[in-house]
Structure 1
Amino acid sequence: MFTNSQRGRIVEAKEKVIKLCVQRFGFTYEPSERSRSFQPETLTALRYGITSESDAADYGYRPAGSEGSTAPVKPKPVAKEVKMLLKGTMAAGDYRGRTVPEGGCLGESRRALQDTEKDGGGGDAEVSNKINANSWQLSYQDKRVRVVFNKWAHCMQRAGHHYADPMEANNDPRWRKTASATSGEKKVAVADARCKKAYNVVGTWYASDRAYQERMIKEHSAELKSVREKINRQTRLATSIVDD
């Protein structure tokens, strides 16, 4: 799977290719500001819910940096001709004495990064996403994990909170009703983190998740080898484009 840094470098490279492509036809193009949506620092951060008591006390179930990060980014206005150049939707043939690339400047940017994914590139391969999602779901339902979930639930009950498992607490609809964490949410989150620690919930859950992933990785070794090669190739291409 791509890291946040690799994905950001690919997006930066694509934007540069698009900008230069549009300039060839006498127009200017400035990409819209990138989304400020929250991204965990690592692929496993928050995978099993809140784990830090101090963060829970300060932010409840909203990790530091996440509040306000999803504010919509207003797209910059784009001239009609530029829109047509981006998608290659003008009449067939040359435009201003230059041949419009197949699929427009967006198509050119994808070819420059050797992109073939349906999401437009920079996204993870379908096989990687399936393994990531399926291992989590299987581990969530695993009997060994359910044993510690049950201990966690009793621990939470002693603290005055009634949830069947950590994700039920994490996804409590009450938390979506306010812009920031309430004192009640923080109390639940702190108890959640404490009970996870008391019964090694995250350790048990992680071990199960990892075991399922390792089994799936072996089953899809050939596909994943191709995915790793693609990630390395696209990262190298993106770096050469950005640094040129």
Structure 2
Amino acid sequence: MAGAVLMAVVAAGGCSNSSGQDHGDSAKKPAPPGFSGPEPSIPSLVPAAGGDPSEPVDFKGGGAVVRPDGSMSLPLDAYVPAKDERTIAQAENVLAQQCMRDMGLKLPQALMLANGTRPAAPYVLYGVMDMKAVKAHGYREPSPEPQTASGRRADAEITPAVERAYFGDPKNGRPGCEGKAREKLGGKNPETLFMLVQQLRSQALSATFHDSRVMATIAKWSACMKESGYHYDSPLAPAHDRRLLGKGLPVPKGATLPPPSPAEIAAAVTDIECKRKARYVQTAALVSAAYQREIIEQRAEQLQDARRTQKLKVAAAEEIIKNGA
């Protein structure tokens, strides 16, 4: 995804010049630090954009996609496609296995990379947004799948010798099989593109939360929560409030928090209802996409260079997988 993909990303992310009734004349307001000119324009949101809070968010516009499963796509995601990350992870597993075999050890399944480097889940960045999930888990991260007996056996295979061989001693400049695999595949900077994109995502996210339109939706969300007795200034705050998490339930032995309680779940349900009334998720996604598009334009050459290096890395990974070593 070099120049052609950059053009496609920018074109696909094109948006109208209208900022919508909720956004007023915000296009004339200055952009947050790190960006020049006014806040970027975003498409209008119709009053019904909030939708039924019992149904998952399903939204597409302005280069942003929010899917019913809680996943989200923004313009910078095109530079680190999941398929490439899986290929790289698979190749690193092959190299790490060979390294471990050379030392007479076996690489446990529990230490094998599954999908490569991944960005934080949208709910971590923007707060909970799935009514079905919060009714079951409150503000907790749902487990992808229950741990199986085979998973426990795999964990038991991580002996001290295996751990030393795999992780090495990076603080003292002695990489283990994991580090050696990454270096062999990607050179001295094996995660250059992903780390660059993460840095740029962070820059766009910071701008998003300083954007007047997002700040306005957060104020509406906060006022809505206050009506139900919850006092929070940020949609990220409830998930970190230890007075709320598990409120009213004892802490099980060996745990750090009580399980999700009816009080926690009730707060999370109200949280999502207020987000939908304020159209917070859709506005934040649109604004994030707008800042990411500006970043893509500003850093086009750097992104293209990093993407060319990534293509070489993926090609090398495919060859390693093909040959098995």
TM-score band (shorter)?
A: 0.7 to 0.9
In the superposition, relative to structure 1, how do residues 189 and 3 fare at CA in structure 2: closer, same or farther (>3 Å)?
A: farther
1:211 corresponds to which of 276, 281, 290? 290
State yes or no: 1:162 paired with 2:231.
yes
Matched-pair contact (CA < 8 Å) for 1:153–1:165: yes
Match runs of 1:126-137 below 5 Å: 126-137=195-206
Matched-pair contact (CA < 8 Å) for 1:31–1:76: no
The amino acid of 2:137's aligned partner reads: Y
Partner of 2:96: 18
Partner of 2:301: 222
The amino acid of 1:30's aligned partner reads: L
Matched-pair contact (CA < 8 Å) for 1:18–1:109: yes
User: Which residues of structure 1 form unaligned runs of 5+?
Assistant: 88-102
Partner of 1:7: 85
The amino acid of 1:231's aligned partner reads: Q
Deviation string 1:10-42 (CA, Å, 9 cap, x unpaired) is: 23322322333454x5734425623899x9x98
SS in 2 for 1:140: helix
Matched-pair contact (CA < 8 Å) for 1:161–1:188: yes
SS in 2 for 1:50: coil
Partner of 1:147: 216
The amino acid of 1:140's aligned partner reads: F
Match runs of 1:1-244 below 5 Å: 2-3=80-81, 6-21=84-99, 23=101, 27-31=104-108, 33-34=110-111, 45-46=122-123, 47-65=125-143, 75-78=158-161, 83=165, 109-117=181-189, 121-122=190-191, 124-174=193-243, 175=245, 178-244=257-323
The amino acid of 2:238's aligned partner reads: A
State the alpha-carbon separation in 2 of the partners of residues 8 and 184 from structure 1: 39
State the alpha-carbon separation in 2 of the partners of residues 162 and 144 from structure 1: 21
**What is the Cα deviation at residue 126 of structure 1?**
3.5
Deviation string 1:92-118 (CA, Å, 9 cap, x unpaired) is: xxxxxxxxxxx786675345413332x
Matched-pair contact (CA < 8 Å) for 1:11–1:122: no
**CA RMSD after TM alignment:** 3.8
The amino acid of 2:321's aligned partner reads: V
TM-score normalised by the chain length of structure 2: 0.56
Size of the aligned set, in residue pairs, is 221
State the alpha-carbon separation in 1 of the partners of residues 110 and 177 from structure 2: 19
**What is the Cα deviation at residue 173 of structure 1?**
2.9
State the alpha-carbon separation in 1 of the partners of residues 183 and 199 from structure 2: 25
Matched-pair contact (CA < 8 Å) for 2:100–2:165: no
The amino acid of 1:116's aligned partner reads: K
Partner of 1:92: none
Between the two structures, name the one with larger relative contact order (CA 8 Å, sep ≥ 6): 1
Matched-pair contact (CA < 8 Å) for 1:32–1:76: no
State the alpha-carbon separation in 2 of the partners of residues 166 and 35 from structure 1: 34
Partner of 2:64: none
State the alpha-carbon separation in 2 of the partners of residues 193 and 106 from structure 1: 40
